[in-house]
């Protein structure tokens, strides 16, 4: 009799698990709140108008069209009964399981200030990216119409909070596309000063990289016109302003990339969680005392020696493949070898032909690192059509500085202006 496998989440971890179980004697139910797999490393490019949503997302049903042992369910899991082996859905349905894989990812955390979310949106979903894009393009449109220099300056000031990969990539893109493309399209803004701040409470940007690469990234950002503010905390974010240390910045555009926490589902598991809400798992990625329930990817606290594995796509993918083998072979806990992560290196892009890469002891920067970053990200895209489309978009932007996905939908703003 086939084992019933429930996978919660269609991100990198959940996807890898499901694909690896293609030929196993299992009946898989994959549950996700959205109908698509999102290639999140490129989501920031949707936010700045360099790529379209369809370039970085593929419907789950398309991915698994030919896989016979899987059922896709558009729903949300609200509770897991570990002893009865049942997951409960928001629709009130109940799904039994023999094995459960939880790969729900993370969501932004505002460090006990949830009220900031209304003014400083995070970037985790396609909807987030489209909202940020709408906000950015609307700011330029309104700035082109207003005559008050203070209001115009506020509209053209962007504050990115958090200097991890997402924050660095966002800040670099906002500065580069703003100066090279957008300002040239608005005749009243050609001589206007565009200001992009990148703020972090740490000592350096991209702190997970070697200090020499962090310093190079900071220099690249500053060359693009980004004002990097380090060792400084955010004390307040509200309508039209952000308080950074004792400095109040007037801005209409705040983007949050400062931290993540696990999804609310983790709190219902009645298991040990770390300060980010991630479940502390065993060496085989299972929950303590529940060898049939696995937590993988961003939402797992997995000790790798003295360190905890970071929330990266390769970590989630490798854990998904590892867990799938345990399930396919129906291995008892005592027969399971501990999960070993193979670190293939990390990369971050700052702008056009600007990136850093760290692969073991090898450290790269500039065009070579950027070319490697671009090639690897294209290869990792799930759908062949997406690969071709993204490559064409990047080549076009590299040659012309004209990102092609800058169409905005009608967005009612607080101030509407008419031009004669």
CB 206 within 8 A of CB 215: no
pLDDT at 216 over 60: yes
Token readout for 61 is 């049903």
C-alpha pair distances (Å), 258 with each of 48, 70, 94, 108: 18, 36, 36, 8
Question: Cα–Cα distance between 337 and 166 in angstroms, integer?
Answer: 34
pLDDT tens track for 146-168: 989 999 999 999 999 999 999 99
Q: Which residue's structure tokens are 């005592």? A: 334
Which helix (H) or strand (E) covers residue 197, if one does?
A: strand 195-199
pLDDT digits (tens, 9 = 90+) for 94-123: 999 999 999 999 999 998 899 999 999 999
CATH architecture observed for domain 3-33+75-108+260-335? 3-Layer(bba) Sandwich (3.50)
Do 3-33+75-108+260-335 and 114-258+346-400 share a fold? yes
Cα–Cα distance measured from residue 164 to residue 255, given in angstroms and rounded to the nearest whole number: 13
Mean pLDDT throughout 204-209? 94
User: What is the model's pTM?
Assistant: 0.90
Alpha-carbon distances, residue 236 vs 110, 170, 190, 240 (angstroms): 11, 21, 31, 11
Residue in 117, 147, 169, 334 annotated catalytic: 169
pLDDT at 377: 77
Q: Which tokens is 304 given?
A: 């790798």
* Six token digits for residue 89: 């859905």
Residue 219 known to be catalytic: no
Domain with residues 114-258+346-400, CATH architecture:
3-Layer(bba) Sandwich (3.50)
More confident residue, 403 or 305: 305
405 pLDDT more than 80: no
pLDDT per residue as tens digits for the range 248-302 = 999 999 999 998 899 999 999 999 999 999 999 999 999 999 999 999 999 999 9
Q: Which residue has the higher pLDDT, 206 or 409?
A: 206
Query: In the 8-state DSSP scheme, what is residue 124?
Result: -
Listed by start position, the domains of the chain span 3-33+75-108+260-335, 114-258+346-400
């Amino acid at each position: 009799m086939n084992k019933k496998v429930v996978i919660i989440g269609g991100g990198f971890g959940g996807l890898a698990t499901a694909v690896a179980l293609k030929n196993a004697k299992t009946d898989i139910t994959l549950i996700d709140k959205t109908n698509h797999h999102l290639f999140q490393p490129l989501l920031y490019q949707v936010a700045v108008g360099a790529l379209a949503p369809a370039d970085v997302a593929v419907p789950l049903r398309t991915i698994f069209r030919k896989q016979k042992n899987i059922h896709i369910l558009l729903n949300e899991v609200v509770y897991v009964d570990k002893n009865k082996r049942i997951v409960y859905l928001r629709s009130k349905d109940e799904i039994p399981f023999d094995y459960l894989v939880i790969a729900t990812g993370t969501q932004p955390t505002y460090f006990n200030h949830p009220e900031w979310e209304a003014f400083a949106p995070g970037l985790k979903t396609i909807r987030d990216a489209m909202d940020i894009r709408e906000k950015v393009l609307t700011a330029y449109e309104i700035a082109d119409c207003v005559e008050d220099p203070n209001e115009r300056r506020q509209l053209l000031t962007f504050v990115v909070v958090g200097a991890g990969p997402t924050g660095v990539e966002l800040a670099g893109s906002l500065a580069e596309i703003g100066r090279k493309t957008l300002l040239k399209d608005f005749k009243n803004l050609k001589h206007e000063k565009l200001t992009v701040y990148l703020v972090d409470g740490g000592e350096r940007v991209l702190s997970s990289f070697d200090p020499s690469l962090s310093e190079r990234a900071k220099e690249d950002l500053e060359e693009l016109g980004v004002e990097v503010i380090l060792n400084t905390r955010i004390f307040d974010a509200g309508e039209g302003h952000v308080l950074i240390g004792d400095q109040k910045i007037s801005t209409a555009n705040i983007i949050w990339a400062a931290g993540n926490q696990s999804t609310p589902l983790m709190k219902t598991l009645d298991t040990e969680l770390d300060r980010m809400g991630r479940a502390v798992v065993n060496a085989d990625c299972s929950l303590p005392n529940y060898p049939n329930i696995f937590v993988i990817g961003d939402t797992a606290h997995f000790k790798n020696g003295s360190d905890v594995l970071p929330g990266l796509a390769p970590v989630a993918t490798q854990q998904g493949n590892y867990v799938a083998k345990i399930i396919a072979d129906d291995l008892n806990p005592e027969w399971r070898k501990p999960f070993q992560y193979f670190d293939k290196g990390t990369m971050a892009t700052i702008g056009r032909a600007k990136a850093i890469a760290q692969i073991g002891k090898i450290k790269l920067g500039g065009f070579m690192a950027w070319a490697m970053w671009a090639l690897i990200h294209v290869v990792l895209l799930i759908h062949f059509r997406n690969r071709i489309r993204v490559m064409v978009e990047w080549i076009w932007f590299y040659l012309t500085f004209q990102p092609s996905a800058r169409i905005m939908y009608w967005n009612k703003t607080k101030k509407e202006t008419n031009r004669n």
